[in-house]
Amino acid sequence: MTKENLDPNWLGGESEDDEIYKENILDHFKNPHNFGNLKEYTIKQRKNNPLCGDVVEIYAKLEDNKIVEVKFAGNGCAISMAASSMLTDFIKGKSLEEIKNLSGKDVLKLLNIRLGVVRMKCGMLCLNAILEGVHNLEEKNESAES
Query: What's the rounded Cα separation, in Å, for the pair 57 and 120?
Result: 18
**Of 30, 91, 29, 27, which Cα lies nearest the Cα of 58?**
91
Contact at 8 Å (CB) between 133 and 60?
yes
pLDDT at 118: 82
Domains of the chain listed by start with CATH number? 3-145 (3.90.1010.10)
Q: How confident is the model at residue 19 (pLDDT cuts 50, 70, 90)?
A: low
Q: What is the 3-state secondary structure (H, E, C) of 29-52?
A: HHCCCCECCCCCCCEEEEEECCCC
Residues comprising the chain, all counted: 146
Within 10 angstroms of residue 50's Cβ, the number of other Cβ atoms is 7
pLDDT at 24: 84
Contact at 8 Å (CB) between 145 and 129?
no
Q: How confident is the model at residue 137 (pLDDT cuts 50, 70, 90)?
A: very high
